[in-house]
Structure 1
Amino acid sequence: MTRTTTDPIPAAPPLPSPKERRRLREAMSMTEEQLAQLVGVTRATVRSWETGRTSPRGRKRDTYLRVLGVGQEDRDDRDDRDGPPEPAPRPAPESQTGGGAGSGAGARTEQASGAARGTGRSDAGSGTATGAVPAAPADAFDALYAYAAPALVQQAYVLTGRRRLAREAVEYAFHLAWERWPEVAVDRDPAGWVRAATHEYALSPWHRLRRSHRHPDPATDRAARALRTALLELPPSYRRALLLYDGLGLDLPETAAETEASTPATGNRVLHARELLAERMPELADPKVLHDRLVSLLDKGPAVVPAPPRTVRRGSERRARYWTRAAVALTALIIGATTFTLATAPTAYHPPLAPGEQVEGVPVLSGPQRLTPQDEALRDRLRTGPATGPARLVPDPY
């Protein structure tokens, strides 16, 4: 049928959730770079869309939905409908869709997001907000730190086996969070942002060069010692994927997004990690038992008290001032060196002197010698005699 000008404009199809966007792309066996080329954006933009940090808009949004095939059936059947297509229902929040440990992680993520944004929330039973109350950045940061820091210290300790390194990793992550607070405050998962920074710093290979972090701390709990030792024998990527998936209860796409790997690769890491743990500890072959043991290991870890949030904020500010002054000093040094070079550099070209050559056949330099009587007689004869020699040697002109 032909649409008249009085017909309502059909509503655009809604955007799928970030996990659904990643699933649709992987279902088409398409990489992030290939999708970015089709849409006309960078690979970092596609990754930002799939992690939920940003969303496509305008023509990029229409092209993105067309490439993923979202709303294709609605567009094909639009001419046969009497009215505009009804928008699809929005997916439920992760805190409502997940079950077990996944639902708890979603609820904690929502609570941390509210704390970072400075909004007040009512009890979990009512499910309604008491109203958005803007808070100061320092108060929101302190709330996020008080909520997430203790758990992150335990996670870093499980990943590294070193208490000092665990506390250092958490403080480093929150230093970055305070430096980039405008970005972290509007993130959909501030606790996840800090958690990713903590895990990356804790598993950095450069810590192997530090003498104090070459050997893990001895575990006092005999029951947890075997599991902690088995975890530390796993590769770092396997260890992190297993902690996120079986320990914290994140689903596979979220684990893949946080570790910056594809979903199949992350699934293989989790399976291989389970197999290696089952070889060392056969009782952990059951995923449910492994999950319970990891949760118990995180809950009953050693008492590692993180620094107060005010100390972390001041440390982040001192760190920013230090690097700013270092950058200014380095810039001034470069400017001074450049100015000195310009002032002392020659303004004209002077060709270099030709290299010397050795001269041969010259007699040895020596002083005058005393003549003998015979030499003196010969010298007088030569001086008094004709210069042209005897007459018999002179040619006759006639």
Structure 2
Amino acid sequence: MVFNRLQSAAIVAAVSVFVTACGGGGTTESDTRASKASVSASDATSSAPSITTQPADAAVLTDGTPTFTVVASGDNLAYQWRKNGVDIPGATAASYQAPPASYTDHGAQFSVVVSNADGSVTSGAAQLTLQLSPNQAVFESQLLSPGTGSYFLHWKLNSGATQTSGANYAFSDFAVLGASPLTSGPQTTSQQGTQNMTRTLALVPQAPTRVLRNGAVVVVSGTNRISYVGADVRVDSMATDGTTVAISEIRSEYTTIPLTGALSASSADFAHFHDVFFTNASVMDTTRSYADGASYTTFKQTNKSDRYNVFDCYAATTDANVSACRTSTTLTAAMTAGIVSNSDGTTYKLADGAIRTVDGVSVWVATNPRPVSATMSSTVQYRVYFERNGNVYTGALVKDGAVLGGGAYLSNPNGATVADRYTFLPFDVRMNKAARDSLAAAMKL
């Protein structure tokens, strides 16, 4: 067949269009690179880390150990937890258990970076919040500012006879907590606002509390440092130097009880704790009524670490220079000869106990507890004698973990012994201002 020149050009153009449309001539190098890049990007996106469950906020008591967990997808994942944006050494698992939380950790932010060879992703931040225990909430309800404070009564009143000014007395004082130890850290309180509960009895200076601490006799100041331990309240009574912890105790089992109606209808615990106020008709008019809002709290006190109380042996003193039982002698010699304790009704000898060393001081500790007729408390105490500077002094040991008694009431006046006549209470009591003012208004003295 013969084609003219115009027909040949049309055929060539048609063939060219067909080859281009069908990919004739093979895929170009630029097309191949673009295709591979697209596949690689897809693979990288699919294997990079992805968080499916974010770490959750946590709320714990003081000393709690919260755990934060993240759930992520991806191959060969690595984890790095952060606290407030700073890496936590060793926190490289999907879960992180924080150390015991203190007030400085309140509001802390915990996040985690999840990574692998293809990328990384940072989680949202989980917040740590400290919370009050029921014990601590009750404790703060009465004591924490701007509340009026926690009141305590001090008294020495006869149960049946008349009262003598200068020998008998009744007064109150109180303490206020400036801020919560939960988030503000340890707080300092002092008993203050001493008020005479009577009109006829003079205030009487109180004998100091002294303890053997760090090898020396120290005087307890009346200033307390309050902190929280788990669900409980720790109270450190400070020495007069302001830095030495003289006495430590843990307070727990706080309960608030309202006081309403006539004073005579007070709960047994409250009336028994303030025994003579309610049982001696010449002390207080119990037909009077409580003011609105009156209440009190009860709590348990447990001694923390061994406490060596120090007493005068003969002459009464008011500072750290307590009077000795024996002078210019050794503890072993004095105990071998024996020392009479009139309050305990016992002559203590070396074989009745054992000598130990406490902070460099030789201390003899009795094997058997002191009689309750001497302590007038349910607190178990052990007579001690100790040697310092060539003299021998006396005191009493309250062991670590001992439950501290809160006084006693005359439950059986006809009992043959003190233990028979009195019931000793294993709890302590504080009251609010409305309750204190109610009792003061009812006083007859």
Which structure is higher in helix share? Answer: 1
Normalising by structure 2, what TM-score? 0.21
Structure exhibiting the larger radius of gyration computed from Cα positions: 1
Q: Which has the higher contact order (CA 8 A, sep 6+)?
A: 1
Which has the larger share of strand?
2
